Structure 1
Amino acid sequence: MTTDPLTRSLHEDPTMPASPAPDRPRLAALDGLRLLAALAVLAYHYTAIDQEFWGHPATQEFPQLSLLTRYGYLGVELFFVISGFVILMTAYGRSLPAFVASRISRLYPAYWAAVLLTVALQAFWDGGRRVDPVDALVNLTMLQEAWGVTDVQGAFWTLWVELKFYLLIGVLLALGEVTRHRALAFALLWPVLAQLARASDAALLESLLITSWAPYFAGGMLLYLLHREGPDLLVLLGIGLNVVLAVHQATRYADTVAPRHSDAPASQVVVALLVVLLFALVHACSTGPLARLDQAWLTTAGALTYPLYLVHGQFGFFVIDTLSGRVDSHVVLALATSLSLLLAWAVHRLVERPLHAPMRRAVRRSLSGR
């Protein structure tokens, strides 16, 4: 879903060389699961949300398909669970400068490319999101949410959530080496403290603790502890706690927020079952029966996931806006998906691979003062 130890996350590139470590096995199935999550989000955006590019709600264009894809937004929640798993894996045995360097070099090259490509697209296409030049520059920082600046692509909101999660892990690293006890305490207490911040109207603390999404990240962290050290009562209870909290968040979201984006209602029962399935899939792909899969195509899938997530929005909508009403809708859907995959491959091959290692080394040297 690299020169880093064999880790996988929403922003990892599994085709980069890595140094094997006995407690960090290759988890190819997790790469494939990441791509599945990205494709679920893509399908949701193209076939289930209310947007003008088809000329009417997408659910009218795909009445049968949208019965399934209306739940595709849960691909984001799956990303967060996977991220909790792999970022804790990354933090084990790593210094704070090394962790920061790995995150910056992983996130920014592909992201910068996606922002610049999107701005170039908007220069001649009057659909989709339009931002002025200054706002486009702010987008290059990935901090635009903090300044209330419009994302050049709608899906970019999750990157701000991820950055805050990385900040929390950075604080954990700054306090000392990541150990089982510290990681366990963090994953158990974080979602509870985040909810207390919300209940007490502590807006800044609630934002920093990413209250709505904390159970997904924390649950993923505990799944990593289960993977690393085997069954343990507190770990299992913690996973159960975070699954319950995630189900609560997801069902409330399905009832209150999801209807603002789609005229296709989401069943709370289905959402609850899917959230439980998300955690079960991450466990199956990391510790369970799927963990032994090692097909090469899964590695390629993992490499394309992050750039695909970054570019699929505006570029797919451009194809839909240009061709809908003139070409069969299923062909348009296939072309929009194909263009997104092609751009994802280009960004990975021409930007991520050549820039990742030099940037990581440069950032680490700067942070280490040598």
Structure 2
Amino acid sequence: MSSPADRADHRLPSLTGLRCFAALAVFVYHAVIGPRIFLQPVFDDTTLFLFNAAGLNSISFFFVLSGFGLAWSARRREPATRFYWRRFLRIYPSHFVVCVLAIAAMLVTGATFDLHHVPEAFLLLQPWLPDVASSFGVNGVTWSLGCQAVFYLTFPLLFPLVRRIAPNRLWAWTFGIVALVFCVPLVASAMFPTGPPLIWLDMPAQQYWLVYMCPLSRLLEFVLGLLLARIVRVGRFPAIRPWVAWVGLALGYVISTFAATSTYSLVAVNVIPVLLLIGSMAERDIQGKPSVASRPVVVWLGQLSFTFYLFHRIVLENVIGAFGFTYHWTVPAAIGAIALSLAMTLLLAWNLSTAVEKPFYRRFGRSRAPVTPAPA
């Protein structure tokens, strides 16, 4: 078994590649659940039923992976202010540009939006608002960036605590946090036993907000990512093949699909399979075994996942809106519109990454002084 220090030196390309598949799943989810453009009701309802859980599970994957990635690449003795500045540069310049473009698109197309949603969107305050409709204003997907901002804010406080946990107690802490994830729906049902349902899902809106969007609830998945990184680093992740994790994820997907009206389907059902998938793929990279997710083109697409995520819903709404949401879409026309949206989103994501995301970070984010790697 390699030492923790040796393990920390390994790059984990498969985890970057998995971001590509997760971002694509979110795209398909919004393509199906948002515009509802398929003409035949049976086909429309079927696609909605099949892909409803895709976006939900992918967001959980991103949140756990965020904690894992930060813990894996943590720098020793880096001031908190420096860490915050680097995280700001990773997210905000691209977020700002896309928000401006989203507002411009709405002004050009005549789409209606509330002005009070604009500062909430720019400042990433949406997930703190129990009004779900307000949380999706301007660029609806950026509510998750509001959660990420909380993760980054708490990382310099949480990671030193996770580092102090004895290796033989890491799994106990992990199971404890997983138990808390399963407790969140109970708290939500106790706090909001009734209420107006969501438009797209037969579930009380405030329960949905507390379980799925509230940053404090989603912080648990981020902490699980921190714990998982330490488990892998100290060599205590079990010898689980990735296909076992994929089977678990598929089983969780089926459960969350058929139990869509339960708040447990939003996060809890798939949190364990997500942990197993990330851990097993990381172990595969450490052992030098190739995978589909580690192929260069997949890794490249995974590197574009953030800017792709920022653009995808705006592109879908504008491509489909150009023909009219009441247009009598046939199945081939609907699939063609989705394919066109996918190509345009990828092109815009590549341009934003090369013109804004990477240049800003290279110019302002790199430390001028050498940094000591994270300790074992």
Q: TM-score, normalised by structure 1?
A: 0.69
Higher relative contact order (CA 8 A, sep 6+): 2
- The one of 7, 18, 23 aligned to 1:38: 23
Please give the alpha-carbon distance, in whole angstroms, between the structure 2 residues aligned to 1:306 and 1:329: 25
- Within 2, Cα distance between the matches of 1:153 and 1:161? 15
Q: What are the residue-to-residue correspondences of 1:12-31 with 2, within 5 Å?
A: 23-31=8-16
The residue type paired with residue 339 of structure 1 is M
Aligned equivalent of 1:325, options 328, 351, 357 = 328
Q: What is the aligned partner in structure 1 of residue 314 from structure 2?
A: 314
Q: Which residue of 2 aligns with 1:263?
A: none
Q: Decide which of 61, 65, 72 is 2:54's aligned counterpart.
A: 72
Q: 2:144 aligns with which of 158, 161, 175?
A: 158
In structure 2, what is the Cα distance between the partners aligned to 1:101 and 1:21? 28
TM-score (norm 2): 0.68
Quick one: which amino acid aligns to residue 18 of structure 2?
L
Q: Distance in 1 between matches of 2:152 and 2:273?
A: 25
Q: Name 1:81's counterpart in structure 2.
A: 64
Superimposed CA distance per residue, residues 47-99 of structure 1 (whole angstroms, 9 cap, x where no aligned partner): 1x2x4562879x75545544532221211111112112112223352522332
The 8 Å contact of residues 187 and 221 in structure 1, kept in 2 or not, is answered as no
Query: CA separation of 1:94/1:64 partners in 2, compared to 1, >3 Å: closer, same or farther?
Result: farther
The code of the aligned residue for 2:280 comes to A
Deviation at 1:220, TM superposition (A): 2.2
Q: Which runs of 5+ in 2 are unaligned?
A: 192-209, 239-247, 370-376
1:222-241 correspondence to structure 2 within 5 Å: 222-231=227-236
Answering whether residue 247 of structure 2 is matched by residue 281 of structure 1, we say no
Counterpart amino acid of 2:322? Answer: T
Deviations 1:278-305 (A, max 9, x none): 2232123211379643432133112210
Structure 1, unmatched stretches of 5+, are: 1-19, 234-242, 259-265, 365-370
Coordinate RMSD, CA, aligned: 4.3
1:71, 1:139 → 2: CA distance?
25
Go from structure 1 to structure 2 and tell me whether the alpha carbon gap of 1:106 and 1:322 turns closer, same or farther (over 3 Å shift). same
CA distance in 2, matches of 1:24, 1:152: 41
**8 A contact 1:119–1:152 mirrored in 2:** yes
Provide the rounded CA distance (Å) in 2 between the counterparts of 1:186 and 1:163: 24
- Count, aligned residues: 314
Mapped partners of 1:179, 1:281: distance in 2: 25
* Residue matched to 1:141: 123
**Structure 2 residue aligned with 1:9:** none
Q: Which amino acid aligns with 2:24?
A: L
The aligned counterpart of 1:16 is none
How much has 1:317 moved relative to structure 2?
A: 1.6
Contact 2:162 2:226 in 1 (8 A): no
Find the residue that maps to 2:73 and give its secondary structure. helix
User: Following the alignment from structure 2 to structure 1, what is the Cα–Cα distance between the partners of residues 231 and 49?
Assistant: 35
